[in-house]
Structure 1
Amino acid sequence: MPEYAVVIMRYGPYSAVGLSVEHRTFRLQGLQAVLAADGHEVILEKIDDWNVVELVVNEEVVFHCNINDLEFGGDGKLDPLCEQARRAVLDAY
C-alpha cells in the first residue's frame, strides 16, 4: 500500500445515551487521529446504515465495525479497534 492513502470513512447514524438517532462523529475521533498520524487523508461520508463504520481504500471496504464499539473521544491509541483499522488500511491494496 502506498504510504499515504486516501481513506473514505463511511459512517451511519447511531443513538447516544438515549438521544435520537443521528450521524455523530464523537466516536470517530480516535480512529481519525490514528489514521491521520500515519499520514493518511481521511474523508468522512455519511451513510444510511445504522451503527456502521466502514473504511474504504481504493474503492474497496478494508475494515468495518459497529460504531458503538469504538471508544468515545480520545486519541485512539488505546482502542484495539483503531489498531485493527490502522493495520487494515496499511495492508490494503
Structure 2
Amino acid sequence: MPKNAVVILRYGPYSAVGLSVEHRTFRLEGLYTVLTEDGHQVILEKVEDWNVVELMVNEEAVFRCNIKDLEFGGDGKLDPLCKKARQAVLNAY
C-alpha cells in the first residue's frame, strides 16, 4: 500500500475494569500512532459491535481483532497486534 493511504479504523464499545460499556480510544493509541507514522491518514469510526477493532482500506476489511487484546496506551511499537495490523495495511491494495 502506498504511503498516504486512507485507513478507516472502526472500533466498538467495551467495558473497562467494571465500568460501563462505552466507546473508548485508549487502547487505539498505539495502533493509531503506528499507522500515522507510516504516513497513512487514519479516520476513527465508531461502530456498535462490542469489543471490535477493524481496519478498512479501499472499502475492504484488512484486519480485525478484539479491542481488549490491544495494549493500553503506548506507542504500539512493542504490541504484536499493532505489528500485524501495520503489515495488513501495507499488504492491502
Fold agreement, TM-score > 0.5: yes
TM, length-normalised to structure 1: 0.98
Q: Distance in 1 between matches of 2:24 and 2:3?
A: 29
- Aligned positions, number: 93
In structure 2, give the amino acid aligned to 1:59. E
Corresponding residue number in structure 1 for 2:33: 33
Task: Provide the residue aligned with 1:91 in structure 2.
Answer: 91
Following TM superposition, by how much is the alpha carbon of 1:28 offset from its aligned partner in structure 2, in angstroms?
0.1
Query: Residue deviations 1:51-90, cap 9 Å, x none?
Result: 0000000000000000000000000000000000000000
Runs of 4+ that moved beyond 2 A: none
Tell me the alpha carbon deviations over residues 25-55 of structure 1, each in whole angstroms, 9 at most, x when there is no partner: 0000000000010000000000000000000
- Structure 1: give runs of 5+ residues left out of the alignment: none
Provide the residue aligned with 1:8 in structure 2.
Answer: 8
TM-score normalised by the chain length of structure 2: 0.98
Can you give the 5+ residue segments of structure 2 that lack an aligned partner in the other structure?
none
1:3 CA displacement: 2.0
CA RMSD in angstroms, aligned pairs only:
0.5
SS of 1:9's equivalent in the other structure is strand
Query: Paired residue for 1:42?
Result: 42
The equivalent residue for 2:75 is: 75
Identical-residue share of aligned pairs (%): 80
